[in-house]
Structure 1
């Protein structure tokens, strides 16, 4: 473009002339977009960034008078827009990567909370059992005694021990079903 015509359009642009802006846009937008396509290798992103650049030119048209070389100014804006674009992509990728790493931790914390709640519920359920059943269940599950050993220590039949353990386990199964239905 002839330097004199460009200066005329830029002076009109500073005053807010839409016609001057449209003329400058028609001359420079294809060049800027071509430049951006070469850097980005993506037609849509190049088109979007070109639109953003010319939106900024229009939004700041009063300051254009301070620019020594409009062409250099545009291509510097385009280069900076590409840097910002890639910087934004890098930030986005880092955020996604961090979220991938955080999610398993959050899942583990949630699972730990559920496990602690369930353990507390089981302990409370055991404590509410009739005294003999509670005693037999604790000896079996917490002290790891066999049914024969429990029967001998408590001076009861092995069948009674098995019956108490079966009933305790049935009670706990009911509790687990309610827990699963309620919390999961």
Structure 2
């Protein structure tokens, strides 16, 4: 658009002339949208941003009539809007990451609590086992001894150790199943 013609439209825009605004909008809106789309890669968002720019031009029409180069002013507004867009995107991304971290951390705490409760329930169940079974279970699961090592230490057969462990694990499975039914 010719500079003198642009200057004429800007003065008329400053006086509230809708046709001057429409002419400037028709002339520059596609260029602004194209410019914005090149940076944000989202045509719908770019279109909304272009609308916002022209809305600001209309609401500030009295001061815009004093601008030397409307095109430069318009693209400065578009550039600033791109900066704001990316700044907002970074803030939103940081917020989402913090919320995800909080959620993950909360899940970890909850899992840790469940694990401690389950461990406590297992310890209680083990304490209620007959002494020989309890002793074998502790040697196997807590001390990490093999069935053969336990049989040698307690001077019993390996098969007896296996039977006690099988019964101990069966009792613990019943308790675990009861706990699962409580939570689900």
Range of TM-score over shorter length: 0.5 to 0.7
Cα deviation code 1:162-183 (max 9, x no counterpart): 5544332211011222334444
Q: How does 1:125-136 map to 2 (within 5 A)?
A: 125-131=125-131, 133-136=133-136
| 1:147–1:38 CA distance, 2 compared to 1 (3 A) | closer
Does the 8 A contact of 2:150 with 2:161 survive in 1?
no
Q: Does 1:60 align with 2:43?
A: no
Q: How does 1:81-160 map to 2 (within 5 A)?
A: 81-89=81-89, 98=97, 102=101, 106=105, 109-131=109-131, 133-143=133-143, 144=145, 146-151=150-155
Greater shift, 41-50 or 22-31, is seen at 41-50
Alignment TM-score, normalising by the size of structure 1: 0.66
Alignment TM-score, normalising by the size of structure 2: 0.66
Does the 8 A contact of 1:137 with 1:168 survive in 2?
yes
Q: Classify the secondary structure of the residue corresponding to 2:54.
A: helix
| 1:159–1:81 CA distance, 2 compared to 1 (3 A) | closer
Q: Classify the secondary structure of the residue corresponding to 1:146.
A: helix
Query: In 2, Cα distance between the equivalents of 1:123 and 1:115?
Result: 12
Does the 8 A contact of 1:67 with 1:73 survive in 2?
yes
* Equivalent position of 1:171 in the other structure: 171
Matched residue pairs, number? Answer: 178
Does the 8 A contact of 2:36 with 2:82 survive in 1?
yes
Query: In 2, Cα distance between the equivalents of 1:13 and 1:55?
Result: 13
Cα deviation code 1:55-100 (max 9, x no counterpart): 222343344245343222101112222333344455566667x57x
Q: Classify the secondary structure of the residue corresponding to 2:129.
A: coil
Does the 8 A contact of 1:140 with 1:150 survive in 2?
no
* Equivalent position of 2:70 in the other structure: 70
| 1:56–1:135 CA distance, 2 compared to 1 (3 A) | same
Does the 8 A contact of 2:16 with 2:61 survive in 1?
yes
Does the 8 A contact of 1:151 with 1:158 survive in 2?
no
Does the 8 A contact of 1:32 with 1:50 survive in 2?
yes
Does the 8 A contact of 1:10 with 1:64 survive in 2?
yes
5+ long unaligned stretches in structure 2: none
